[in-house]
Amino acid sequence: MSTTIKEAGTTTMDPLPSTYSTSTVAKAITQTVQFIISSTTSTPKPPSSSHSIASTASLTTMPTTAAATTAATTAELASAATTAATTTATAAIGTEKLSVSDLSTALQHFGIVDYIVFIAMLVVCAVIGFYFGFIEKKQKKEKGQVPTDEKDGDGAGAAGNEERRGSEALDYLVGGRKMKVFPVALSLVASFVSGISLLGTSTEIYVYGTQYAFILITLAISGLISWYIFLPVFCNLQLTSSYEYFERRFDRRVRIFGSCLFVIMNILWQPICIYVPALTLNQVSGFSVHTIVPLTSLICILYTSIGGIKGVVWTDVIQGVVMVGAMAFVIVKGTYDLGGLSVVLERNRQYDRLVGPDMTFDPTVRMGVLALFIGGAFFKTQANCINQAAVQRFMTLPNIKAVKQTLIIALTGFIIVMAMCIYIGMLAFAEYYHCDPISTGLARAKDQVIPLYVMQSAGVIPGVVGLFVAGVFSAALSSLSTALNSLSAVVLKDFIEPYRSRPLTERQTAYVLRAVVIVFGLISMASVPIVQKLGMVMQLSSTVAAITCGPLLGAFSIGMLIPTVKTESLLTGISLAASFVSYIVVRAQIALATGQLTFPTKPVSVEDCDYSFELAANWNATSTSSSATTHSKSFSLHEVSFLWYTCIGAMGTILCSLLATLYFGKQDVRKVDKELVAPVLHKYWYGSYESVSSKDDKELFNLQESINTAE
């Protein structure tokens, strides 16, 4: 139930709308009586010294417009039942306001309907995993339809005609390459719009304004790059692990190096993915994060390990529908309560939230124009083009036509959902423009602002908070299940099968795949406490991905675009780039944790709060001087915007590898199979002579190279 507290003597009791039932009113009266009893039996508190601070402290002196006042009145009328009950309580205890801790406790109203909605989502996910893990498999065996590596249809490429993998691995990891376009596209949207994006993007807009919204343009750029460069190669080769490409283009050392980077990235990223929804449920229900994480993680591990890629994709579809539905309801309800879109835009404009990228070439500016459009393009390209989870989804489809259709639908879905996240951040600020819950401590962490907003704006309707929490959990669990399934593919294909003298049996393969999911799921669950100490999840997620994904993007780019680079040159380049980016990221996180590195935030106000709180002694100074903190000293590498990290890793790998060719020499282009190079460059690299295409000639080249190396 959303609670609004007003000072005694300034608020009148509004009549209850007819839409509220007798039980709702009775519940409100009961809570009021309990509040009065508790306040009269405890020692009366003197008026808080923070009362005057709450009444006068404000970062800005911008006047409240008539439109804003009208919208605030509309929002109060929308929760009239709650206001009426709490006004009675306030009048009974005089002029004393609720403290921020009491209000926070009062807002934790995760009711029985909310629990039913939330638990229903988890149960449906578990049932889907059980169906694909047991029932569907049993039906296929009864009909004699045991999955085999069949013909892959048009666009499968030469590799698709080879019997390269057992039926268990084929079915578990790529769904027999028979999945349909629409569910795979929805799965891509659900798994890559994680809980981090859902809450992190909205929080980013709330704290820093709409600058980050322009990264939507880079989604289109990354889609074009994927369409013409990366996807044609992956689809032609029909790989299960994208790092198999490295062994074909270079050698096994590069494949293992790339796989290790992928595993490290997931170990670092998955705890962030789990932590975000736990933070949401903690805000709305009061349950400890350490209680929530094991429960939800174990359910995700269960349906991922049992159902395989089919279970993951179809749970993603259900979770995607829940996620979008929850966001759509919050948007419609929030906009209506505030008085319309014009009020939302006006309040954001008034407090400098409607802004574009900073028109500067300074790389330390957090949202500079180059950082957003160049750095952001690199960041989105690695996420949507060469990420194992994305490649594995595309490989579940039968041909290149289906892959390109899926890419278009998925990118459209990305843009729509990200736009919804951006607007929710604007809605939250329009609600709290006069009383910032981060400054007052009502939101215990920046990433809890959005759950708090949902509670206060829509909590009076049973089940809505549960729907929103289910949506956040859906986004997070779909991303986690995707990562776990991808890890099982990489571990099996890159770390186990190449080193066995005899192939694994179907039963052994099944055990290995499920064991990998369980082990990495438990590791991620145990690592969550570390994430709690590391700051805003949006920036943290980007920095973690940059350590590994930037160098990997550079390595794939070299392989598909520059066939003259040899294995030794690439290993040198990717090692130096990964080390360099790791230094920058780790050093930046230390600086952020110690307060040595800060970024300017947008203005906020606490001048019209209706509860008592205490401001930090340096609140005003910190808020106004954060920009100077970053730029008052000489330039350091770790001060660059986090959006540059992936670009630095990728370009560092490419440049260092090209420089290394001066020492190791160039690769003979004729020894590189045309299938391993992006089709758009075939005419450039192979225009003057034919590539070596026959198997015998390739073996002859490899033998000659081995002799030269030995000599």
pLDDT single digits (tens) 144-175: 655 444 344 444 443 444 334 446 677 777 77
Structural contact between residues 662 and 573, judged by C-beta atoms closer than 8 angstroms: no
Task: List all residues 6 or more positions away from 579 whose beta carbon is below 8 Å from its beta carbon.
Answer: none
**Distances 449 to 204, 446, 456, 471, 709 between C-alpha atoms, Å:** 11, 6, 11, 16, 61
Structural contact between residues 440 and 315, judged by C-beta atoms closer than 8 angstroms: no
Q: What backbone torsions phi and psi does residue 555 show, to the nearest 5 degrees? A: -65, -45
Q: Which amino acid would we find at residue 240? A: T
End-to-end CA distance of the chain: 79
**Among the listed residues 143, 471, 179, the one whose alpha carbon sits nearest the alpha carbon of residue 326:** 471
pLDDT at 150: 39
218: three-class secondary structure by DSSP:
helix
**Distances 550 to 252, 359, 375, 381, 565 between C-alpha atoms, Å:** 20, 25, 11, 10, 18
| Tokens linked to 481 | 């299940």
Query: Within the chain, which residues score under 70 in pLDDT?
Result: 1-96, 108-109, 137, 140-168, 194-196, 283, 532-546, 616-634, 686-711
| Tokens linked to 6 | 């007003």
Structural contact between residues 154 and 330, judged by C-beta atoms closer than 8 angstroms: no
Q: Which 8-state DSSP code applies to residue 375?
A: I
pLDDT at 682: 84
The secondary structure of the chain in percent helix, strand, coil, rounded to multiples of 5, reads 75, 0, 25
**Cβ–Cβ contacts within 10 Å for residue 125, how many?**
29
Structural contact between residues 315 and 481, judged by C-beta atoms closer than 8 angstroms: yes
pLDDT at 3: 38
**Among the listed residues 359, 372, 354, 367, the one whose alpha carbon sits nearest the alpha carbon of residue 217:** 372
The answer, as to whether pTM is greater than 0.95, is: no
List the Cα angle 479/178/296 in 5-degree steps. Answer: 25
**Distances 234 to 410, 522, 565 between C-alpha atoms, Å:** 18, 31, 20
| Unique residue bearing structure tokens 């990354």 | 222
Q: Which amino acid would we find at residue 538? A: M
Structural contact between residues 245 and 234, judged by C-beta atoms closer than 8 angstroms: yes
**Cα–Cα distance measured from residue 9 to residue 32, given in angstroms and rounded to the nearest whole number:** 18
Structural contact between residues 265 and 548, judged by C-beta atoms closer than 8 angstroms: yes
Structural contact between residues 312 and 183, judged by C-beta atoms closer than 8 angstroms: no
